[in-house]
Structure 1
Amino acid sequence: MIIGTGLIANSLKDINSENNLFFASGVSNSLETRSSEFEREFSLLKNTLENNKSAKLIYFSTLSVNDQSKQESHYVLHKLKIEDYIKNNSESYLILRIGNIVGNGGNPNTLFNYLKNQIMNNHKFVIHSKARRLLLDIDDIGRFLVSNCMNIKNETINFAYPYYYNLKEITEAIENKLQKDAQYEKSEEGDFYKVNFDDTTNTFFAGVKPEEYLKILTDKYI
């Protein structure tokens, strides 16, 4: 069973979900502050778990829980609260903490979509030179679950391509694909947080170099 209708949910539609419960619904905006939005997701999760006790739950969390600068944000606190609830109330689960998703459609304000739209529309923008981001092809979520879901039980896994891209690298890759110069200024700002990736994630992406992965993303989604 797949709960949700967004980018992640649609990417899982061809996966056999007979004994699995993919929970891909809820708050997607990391800047959300309305308690009603968080309560809606929490209530849906509780009811879904109650009605599907025999299924294995796969929940999609965020790598932002590792970001020390966001430990007081409503979004991160909400995700951690749900993670704890799952651990205490589900007999079989997999929590997948994911990075910056790249795919067709989805939130126009995601990093990749934002940079693509700024360049395409000749808009000026600012690149924070010290910022680093972890990217993830939306299709890799389904591929990872197909190959690993049955073998993983009651674990929390950090999942993204394990390389910290700076914004200039991402911008240049998009420029090359569009054959269009970006109109940006540099600012000596930005930060990033370190994530511990386990062997499961590292093995999944083994053999793919950072520049190759970035080219895959631009070729597929631009």
Structure 2
Amino acid sequence: MIIGSGLIAKALNNINSGNMLFFASGVSNSLETRSSEFEREFTLLKNTLENNTGKLIYFSTLSINDQSKQDSHYVLHKLEIENYIKDHVADYLILRIGNIVGNGGNPNTLFNFLKTQIMNDNKFVIHQKARRLLLDIDDISRFIVSNCTHLNKETINLAYPYYYDLKEIVGAIQEKINKPARYDEINEGDFYKVTFDDSIDEFFSGISPENYLKNLAQKYI
């Protein structure tokens, strides 16, 4: 069963869920502050668990690893749900997701934002010190199919394990669009280190950072 209707939920439609319960619903805006929005997700999760059995797959966020966001409502909420799952669910897999790249979805995601700025000839600012972890939306279902059955009571950081410079991402987008980006650079930005499970290194084995990024641009522009 798939709970949700957003980008991740739609990407799971081709999976034979069997006795798996995919919870891909809830707060998607990381800047959300309204407690009612977080309570709605928590209530839906609890009700879903009461009325269904099977392995729970919950989609969390890599932002939990970001020390600069430890006090944000969104991160605190995700941690609360993760802890609830660990205390109340016998069979689960928590996937902490990186910056998703796919068709549609939130227009403010990094890839969508940069694509829109370049296509519309808008000028923007690049933080030179910033690095980002990307993830093809299709890799979520591929990873689940190949690894879900033997991962139990695990919390996995899921993203392509390479920290992309923003100029690398901009370069791939402008090459695909065949249009130069207009931006200023400032000596700012940050990123956080993530520990990746051996299953992630094996899953992405043989795929170079350059080819992974190029493929994202080819698929989603």
TM-score, scaled relative to structure 2: 0.99
Q: Structure 1 CA distance, aligned partners of 2:146 and 2:103?
A: 23
Identity %: 74
Q: Which residue is 1:69 aligned to?
A: 68
Q: Which residue is 2:19 aligned to?
A: 19
Return the letter of the residue paired with 1:159. Answer: L
Matched ranges for 1:105-144 at <5 A: 105-144=104-143
Return the letter of the residue paired with 1:104. Answer: N
Q: Which residue is 2:170 aligned to?
A: 171
Matched ranges for 1:71-86 at <5 A: 71-86=70-85
Q: Structure 2 CA distance, aligned partners of 1:202 and 1:180?
A: 34
Q: Does 1:103 align with 2:102?
A: yes
Q: Structure 1 CA distance, aligned partners of 2:121 and 2:66?
A: 32
Q: How far is 1:164 from its partner?
A: 0.1
TM-score, scaled relative to structure 1: 0.99
The alignment partner of 1:125 has SS state of strand
**Structure 2 segments unaligned to the other structure (5+ residues):** none
Q: Structure 2 CA distance, aligned partners of 1:192 and 1:83?
A: 23
Q: How far is 1:167 from its partner?
A: 0.4
**Structure 1 segments unaligned to the other structure (5+ residues):** none
Q: How far is 1:16 from its partner?
A: 0.8
- CA deviations on 1:92-147 (whole Å, 9 max, x unpaired) are 00000010000000000000000000000000100000000000000000000011
Q: Structure 2 CA distance, aligned partners of 1:160 and 1:7?
A: 16
Q: Which residue is 2:201 aligned to?
A: 202
Q: Structure 1 CA distance, aligned partners of 2:17 and 2:207?
A: 28
Compute the RMSD of aligned alpha carbons.
0.4
Q: How far is 1:18 from its partner?
A: 1.9
